[in-house]
Amino acid sequence: MLLRLRVPLSTLEKDSILKLCKELGYSTRFVAEALLELEGPSRPEHRSRLEDHAVVLEVMAAAAELSARPPGGPDTVVAIGDARFGGEFVSIVSGPCAVEDGERLLEIARAVRDAGGTLLRGGAFKPRTSPYSFRGLGREALELLARAREETGLAVVTEVLDPRDVEEVGAVADAFQIGSRSMGNAALLSEVGRTKTPVLLKRGMAATVREFLLAAEYVLSAGNPNVVLCERGVRSFDSVTRNLLDVGAIAHMRSATHLPIIADPSHAAGRSDLVAPLARAGIAAGACGILVEVHPAPHEARSDGAQAISPRELHALADEVRALADLTGRRLAEPAQPALTSGRSDS
């Protein structure tokens, strides 16, 4: 491992970095004034320890963290109900932004299943920017999601906002969503990491790829290997779209990590007419799934109506995703027969 150091170093600073290296089990050698070579059994957690030292500018050739893809290593495939993410599989995750009422949720869930979706997503606890906006139905929505799963056989994913809710949400959800606003919530990440329930982790709206992968590392290092990353757009200077879908990051992460990554064109676009082209771009860049908000009457939606596509549009988009998956040597994980999938998945 190599450390690039801020120079000039005072004697105190030099002693301090050498002491830390020794404590971590390395022998050291200066190869230049600002370059310190470390020899010894390198461990993934050492990178962050060293990066935290005041004189370290950069840590190079560090041992891989848990999310890193070893050279030539395979994809991790995460299964959630009939959905499969990674490897040869592409899956469609869809549903309303927020669960609003039982009948409407069922109508949407059936449309998701009929289009070829395998995972129903609906918010029970909504992390709204304004505390005065609709923040979800909470517990009641969890019950409605469970009922929709029973009716359709679709597994469900819903957001958990608070570490204290992990047990209650986990009793219903087949997967936890960690939203963009919570990506940096270390307590929440550790708490879902202590379960084995898959985690759909969204990129923070101003998070670097490294920060995103380190958020995943919180979950992995707590013992939960079932992480699906989700690129949902980052803040940009332009307001033609709500966020900027970072397809470059998707392509980059295909080699940087073995974890599956999906694209959320809905929160990236913020407008329904751009959802399909951004979804296609995400899959073409290597995403192994899409997360799309759908609503039969977007003008009645209590959140994110402007970006909701119709069930008919979802159907057409699913056909395109199927074709693109095929073109890239993969396939869409299709819903199994309802009789085979009713009840909660145990993945």
Shortest reach from residue 267's CB to Mn ion, in Å: 6
Which residue lies nearer to ligand PEP by CB, 123 or 260? 123
Which residue lies nearer to ligand PEP by CB, 50 or 245? 245
Residues within window 288-317 making contact with Mn ion, judged by CB under 5 A? 304
- Cβ(197)–Cβ(170) below 8 Å: yes
Which residue lies nearer to ligand PEP by CB, 299 or 346? 299
Q: Could you say which of Mn ion, ligand PEP, none residue 202 binds, taking C-beta under 5 to 8 angstroms by partner kind?
A: ligand PEP
Measured in whole angstroms, the distance separating CA 29 from the mean position of its chain's CA atoms is 40
d(CA 124, CA 169): 9
Shortest reach from residue 133's CB to ligand PEP, in Å: 11
Which residue lies nearer to Mn ion by CB, 179 or 193? 179
Regarding 207 and contact with Mn ion (CB under 5 A), the answer is no
Shortest reach from residue 232's CB to ligand PEP, in Å: 4
- Cβ(266)–Cβ(290) below 8 Å: no
Q: Could you say which of ligand PEP, Mn ion, none residue 180 binds, taking C-beta under 5 to 8 angstroms by partner kind?
A: ligand PEP
Looking at the chain, which runs of residues are DSSP E strands?
A: 2-5, 27-32, 35-39, 56-60, 78-80, 83-85, 89-95, 119-121, 155-159, 175-178, 199-202, 227-231, 261-263, 289-293, 331-332
> Nearest residue to ligand PEP, using CB?
179
Measured in whole angstroms, the distance separating CA 247 from the mean position of its chain's CA atoms is 14
Q: Could you say which of ligand PEP, Mn ion, none residue 67 binds, taking C-beta under 5 to 8 angstroms by partner kind?
A: none
Look up residue 6 and give its two tokens. 């801020």
CA distances from 304 to 33, 97, 128, 266, 331 (A): 54, 6, 10, 9, 30
Q: Could you say which of Mn ion, ligand PEP, none residue 345 binds, taking C-beta under 5 to 8 angstroms by partner kind?
A: none
Shortest reach from residue 311's CB to Mn ion, in Å: 17
Long-range contacts of 139-143 (CB under 8 A, 24+ apart): 139/168, 141/98, 141/99, 142/168, 142/169, 142/172, 142/173, 143/172
Q: Could you say which of ligand PEP, Mn ion, none residue 232 binds, taking C-beta under 5 to 8 angstroms by partner kind?
A: ligand PEP
Shortest reach from residue 123's CB to ligand PEP, in Å: 5
Which residue lies nearer to Mn ion by CB, 100 or 304? 304
Regarding 217 and contact with Mn ion (CB under 5 A), the answer is no
Residues engaged in binding ligand PEP (CB under 6 A): 97, 123, 127, 179-181, 202, 232, 267
Q: Could you say which of Mn ion, ligand PEP, none residue 322 binds, taking C-beta under 5 to 8 angstroms by partner kind?
A: none
Regarding 97 and contact with Mn ion (CB under 5 A), the answer is yes
Shortest reach from residue 327's CB to ligand PEP, in Å: 27
> Nearest residue to Mn ion, using CB?
97
d(CA 275, CA 265): 5
DSSP string of 18-81?
HHHHHHTT-EEEEEETTEEEEES---HHHHHHHHTSTTEEEEESPPPPTTBPPTTPPPP-EEET
d(CA 60, CA 266): 37
User: How many chain residues bind Mn ion (CB under 5 A)?
Assistant: 2
Which residue lies nearer to Mn ion by CB, 11 or 239? 239
d(CA 219, CA 319): 33
Q: Using the rule CB under 5 A, give the single segment among 21-29, 91-99, 205-213, 229-237 that binds Mn ion.
A: 91-99
- Shortest CA distance to 157 belongs to which of 180, 135, 173? 173
Shortest reach from residue 179's CB to ligand PEP, in Å: 3
Which residues of the shown chain bind Mn ion in the complex (CB under 5 A)? Answer: 97, 304
